[in-house]
Amino acid sequence: MTATMLQAPPSLDLPKPPSRRRETIAAVLAGGILLAAAAGLDANWARLLDLPRASWEYAVLMFENPDGERLGRALFEMWRSISMAWLGALLCVALSVPLGMFAARDVGPAWLRHALRAVFAVIRAVPEVIIALILLTVTGLTPFTGALALGIAGIGTQGKWVYETIESLSDGAAEAVRAAGGGRVAVVRWALWPAALPSLMSFALYRFEINIRTSAVLGLVGAGGIGSMLSNYTNYREWSTVGMLLIVVIVATMLIDAVSGALRRRIMEGARARGMDRIR
CATH code, residues 66-279: 1.10.3720.10
Task: Tell which residue, 124, 145, 151, 127, has the closest CA to residue 219.
Answer: 145
Contact indicator for 150, 211 with CB cutoff of 8 Å:
yes
The whole-number average pLDDT for the span 96-121 is 92
- Range among 8-17, 42-51, 140-149, 266-275 rated most confident: 140-149
Q: What percent of the chain has pLDDT over 90?
A: 30
Q: What angle do CA 207, 215, 224 make, to 5 degrees?
A: 145
Q: What percent of the chain has pLDDT over 70?
A: 91
Query: What's the pLDDT band for 217 if we cut at 50, 70, 90?
Result: confident
pLDDT at res. 10: 58
The whole-number average pLDDT for the span 183-204 is 85
Predicted structure pTM score: 0.77
Q: Which of 38-47, 68-77, 238-247, 259-268 has the lowest mean pLDDT?
A: 38-47
The whole-number average pLDDT for the span 209-216 is 87
Query: How many CB atoms are located within 10 Å of the residue 155 CB?
Result: 23
pLDDT tens across 23-66, in order?
888 889 988 888 887 777 777 777 778 888 888 988 888 888 88
